[in-house]
Amino acid sequence: MKIHLTSVFVDDQAKAEHFYTQILGFRTKHDVPLGEETRWLTVVSAEEPDGTELLLEPAGHPAVEPYRDALVRDGIPLAQFAVDDVRAEYERLTALGVRFTQEPVRMGPVTTAVLDDTCGNLIQLASGPKDADAR
């Protein structure tokens, strides 16, 4: 068994696609219209184009807003992405105007940072022991 697809709820799919592809560096995998304003829109890592897909899912269900609001209010990331070097990604993304709610922090063998994806979610970036040991 393996994870094939997971999702994040987004306020605006076009805005989310721009952020996840043009800012974070993912690539659009599927973009299938599902009506006038909704799409089956997935992105994948540029490094693993056949890897796990991230569905940029419209946040229209009534349970989504209170759920996401509670997570953001408590500073809890909805998802985590692995990067080679959190500090380098923090510098790159900050230069592009990305707002971080947590700057890079070393926690034992892991370094993490948390960003606002501009679409209603907090996303954690994490790098493993290699990055933590090098700092």
For the segment 38-96, what is each residue's pLDDT rounded down to a tens digit?
A: 999 999 999 999 999 999 999 999 999 999 999 999 999 999 999 999 999 999 999 99
Inform me whether the pLDDT recorded for 132 exceeds 50.
no
Please determine, for residue 24, whether its predicted confidence score (pLDDT) is greater than 60: yes
Non-local CB neighbours of 103 within 8 Å, separated by 6+ positions: 90, 113
Domain segments of the chain as ranges? 5-134
pLDDT band for position 130 (cuts 50, 70, 90): low
The fraction of the chain above a pLDDT of 70, given in percent, is 96
Task: Judge whether 57 and 10 are in contact, CB under 8 Å.
Answer: yes
Topology of 5-134 in CATH?
Answer: 2,3-Dihydroxybiphenyl 1,2-Dioxygenase; domain 1 (3.10.180)
